[in-house]
Amino acid sequence: MKFKIIVTILSFTVMVINGQNTSDVLPVNNTNINVEKPDKQIEEPTFKYPKTKREALAGIKVLNRHNAKFYQNKEEITYREALKLVRKKFTNLIIKEDWDKEEIHFTANTLSK
């Protein structure tokens, strides 16, 4: 017991000399601490833009298991059409995967011509 008291006093004095936070050394009564709960953060929509063809195909397959909807230029397409579209025209597509709404949007990339 004496050893713990001596170690606490020595470490406290060293921390005071160094200008460090002393709350780590001193014993704290947990019942008197007022813990503030952080405000709930607004969740941003989880959009993913796959960079490789493999990522795009994997995202399509995963979202298809959750009965996702696929859109090309705001028109709904089937799962097979989406796979064919990615396999053939991946470099000219902008793919936006919305994992919250379970939707994938394909748009022609006009800048990559």
**Do residues 63 and 71 make contact, with C-beta atoms less than 8 angstroms apart?**
no
Q: Determine the pLDDT at residue 27.
A: 56
- The answer to whether residue 43 is domain-embedded is no
Residue labelled with tokens 């064919």:
84
93 and 58 within one domain: yes
This prediction's pTM? 0.53
Using pLDDT thresholds of 50, 70 and 90, give the confidence band for residue 48.
confident
| Number of domains the chain contains | 2
91 and 57 within one domain: yes
Q: Determine the pLDDT at residue 88.
A: 87
Q: Provide the residue range defining the domain that includes 16.
A: 2-27
Residues near 104 by Cβ (< 8 Å), separated by ≥ 6? Answer: 59, 60, 63, 68, 69, 70, 71, 82, 95, 96, 97, 98
Residue 113, pLDDT > 50, answer: no
99 and 66 within one domain: yes
Q: pLDDT by residue (tens digit) across 60-97? A: 888 888 888 888 888 899 999 989 988 888 888 888 88
Cα distance between residue 81 and residue 83, in whole Å: 5
- The answer to whether residue 7 is domain-embedded is yes
Cα distance between residue 112 and residue 32, in whole Å: 62
59 and 17 within one domain: no
Q: pLDDT by residue (tens digit) across 8-41? A: 777 777 776 766 655 555 555 555 555 566 666 6
